[in-house]
Structure 1
Amino acid sequence: MKKVCFLGLGVMGYPMAGHLSENGYKVTVFNRTTAKAENWCKQYTGEMAQTVSDAVYDADIVLMCVGNDNDVSEVAGQAVAAMKPGSILVDHTTASAELARQLNTLCREKEIGFLDAPVSGGQAGAQNGQLTVMVGGDPDTYEKALPVMQVFARHVQRIGDAGSGQLAKMMNQICIAGIVQGLAEALHFGEKAGLDCKQVIEVISKGAAQSWQMENRASTMINGEYEFGFAVDWMRKDLHIALEEARKNGSTLALTALVDQYYADVQKLGGGRWDTSSLLTRLHG
């Protein structure tokens, strides 16, 4: 698993591929915007390809991180058609579980391993090599790909068969949506009550209310800073996937559906590219 290909050099894929290069892997990259791939090659040791087919044809493992289901279907279809038997395709995109299962079937027909492996940790996690990876797929394929994923992750765990990684990521996003809304309402309440919210956060972050969102986003929310982080547009995409899956399996996601509509309010305020912590802005209206 030394010949590695990375498809998609966005805010996540760019540093993830970089960690592989820095850890001795022979990396070939592909990005639809060629300039991004050229910049990557200037910063790291590796090669760029002009097409997906050229990028993957001799790779032992192909990793991809693109935008949505349509992007995954298009790019993965091109990749699988050119990948060699015995190689592995790992999709780090947050996409639907149904698509993961379809890709798993396609890969099996081509004698290629497949893992759906969405990540959590955001841009900072990708840059620092501290992502959490939730994996679905065959155990043997997972064991072969594990050392590669560990290069840019602090924790990698197989959840179950194909599609399980995506289902776990849906749970992750469901949790985040509720926590961020709770934090936004608490800060809004504190402001209205005339409290020094920075002092309050310093206290309650040491108790049962503590969360990653509180530790990493409370101060920026208090300062009204949102031009960074995981975009509202992407969060709504992820929540839509979770809500669609809930309709299929009969689960009730009342809070998630409500917060999704709150994010729609933020989009109307022009905050589609703001960090997800910008839920506080709609309470200032």
Structure 2
Amino acid sequence: MSSIGSRTYEATTPVDVAFIGLGVMGFPMAGHLARAGHNVTVYNRSSAKAQAWVDEFGGAHAPTPREAAAKADIVFSCVGNDDDLRSVMLGDDGALAGLRPGTLLVDHTTASAKVARELYEAAKARQVSFVDAPVSGGQAGAVNGVLTVMCGGDVDAFDRALPVGSVYARAFTRIGDVGAGQLAKMCNQICIAGIVQGLSEAIAFGKNADLDMKLVLDVIAKGAAQSWQMENRGGTMVDDKFDFGFAVDWMRKDLNLVLDEARLNGSRVPMTALVDQFYADVQQMGGSRWDTSSLVKRLV
């Protein structure tokens, strides 16, 4: 059974691409590129994962990021954090060392605006274009090819990335100059943190009031309280099921990016700081890999 959905693709000219990082997001994203007709070479720290991708989608895998990127016109990456990103981009075996002038580098990692600007300058020194392009939509969005992609970078670089990256996106949007994509993703995570905490409190309140919370959620989802989190996570929160989805560890990483940036730009984010500490409580409960909707476990 395929690890990606059955979406259809608009006809595009095949491009030689590399994809670095085959985690829960990168594996299906790279798969969509291959299914859309592009020539894909992949790299992953685990060569077994890279071979599994090739077995499913074809293409090739390379032993280093540099070798994966060497013949590509566009290089995509999706790894864990700033340090992971630097490790696959910089140094003798990093992707930048293998890129030809004129290549485009598109990074889908949720990372800091600082590292996006660092890589933009490092790429520019090699006559390579760079776009920071974090995504929202989770594993299901990656599998079904309906991610929301928030981009920062030069207009011409974005225009080159748009038709290729759109094969796994329902929205692929330039927000502004380099770093703007990462800053937009931080806004996204601030919103999610508040929504999940509010939903958690509502479910706990309703259970304490002996309400049928699945019925309540079904009703209020038809009104102003509706949200993606309510419709996709409300029922599983009521059922105490969290062994799936976007892990608490990842959310805390993202929220700490927000808090670091807020200190730099003078923003006040008290709710975000509080929910980050609530997620620390969930980690202490053994929920590091639970879905972010597990915030409710602190309350029920």
TM-score, scaled relative to structure 1: 0.99
Q: What's the counterpart of residue 74 of structure 1?
A: 87
Q: Does 1:194 align with 2:207?
A: no
Per-residue deviation at 1:76?
Answer: 1.4
Q: Does 1:12 align with 2:28?
A: no
Secondary structure of 1:4's aligned partner? strand
Q: What's the counterpart of residue 274 of structure 1?
A: 290
Would the aligned equivalents of 1:22 and 1:45 in 2 still touch at CA under 8 Å? no
Q: What's the counterpart of residue 103 of structure 1?
A: 119
Match of 1:229 among 214, 238, 245: 245
Q: What's the counterpart of residue 115 of structure 1?
A: 131
Would the aligned equivalents of 2:244 and 2:290 in 1 still touch at CA under 8 Å? yes
Q: What's the counterpart of residue 39 of structure 2?
A: 26
Matches within 5 A, 1:202-281: 202-281=218-297
Per-residue deviation at 1:53?
Answer: 1.2
Would the aligned equivalents of 1:92 and 1:118 in 2 still touch at CA under 8 Å? yes
Matches within 5 A, 1:81-100: 81-100=97-116
Give the counterpart letter for 2:172 in structure 1: V
Q: Does 1:52 align with 2:49?
A: no
Fraction of identical pairs, as percent: 61
* Aligned residues between the structures: 284
Would the aligned equivalents of 1:205 and 1:211 in 2 still touch at CA under 8 Å? yes
Structure 1, unaligned stretches of length 5 or more?
A: none
Q: CA RMSD in A?
A: 0.6
Structure 2, unaligned stretches of length 5 or more?
A: 1-13
| Distance in 2 between residues matched to 1:195 and 1:220, nearest whole Å | 16
| Distance in 1 between residues matched to 2:122 and 2:237, nearest whole Å | 44
| Distance in 2 between residues matched to 1:20 and 1:163, nearest whole Å | 24
Give the counterpart letter for 2:48 in structure 1: A
Between 1:44-53 and 1:244-253, the stretch displaced more is 44-53
| Distance in 2 between residues matched to 1:209 and 1:54, nearest whole Å | 49
| Distance in 2 between residues matched to 1:130 and 1:76, nearest whole Å | 27
Secondary structure of 1:146's aligned partner? helix
| Distance in 2 between residues matched to 1:202 and 1:66, nearest whole Å | 36
Match of 1:163 among 179, 183, 201: 179
Per-residue deviation at 1:183?
Answer: 0.1
| Distance in 1 between residues matched to 2:221 and 2:83, nearest whole Å | 40
Would the aligned equivalents of 1:115 and 1:138 in 2 still touch at CA under 8 Å? yes
Would the aligned equivalents of 1:204 and 1:210 in 2 still touch at CA under 8 Å? yes
Q: Deviations over 1:133-159 (max 9, x none)?
A: 000000000001111110000001000
Q: Deviations over 1:228-250 (max 9, x none)?
A: 00000000000000000000000
| Distance in 1 between residues matched to 2:66 and 2:204, nearest whole Å | 51
TM-score, scaled relative to structure 2: 0.94
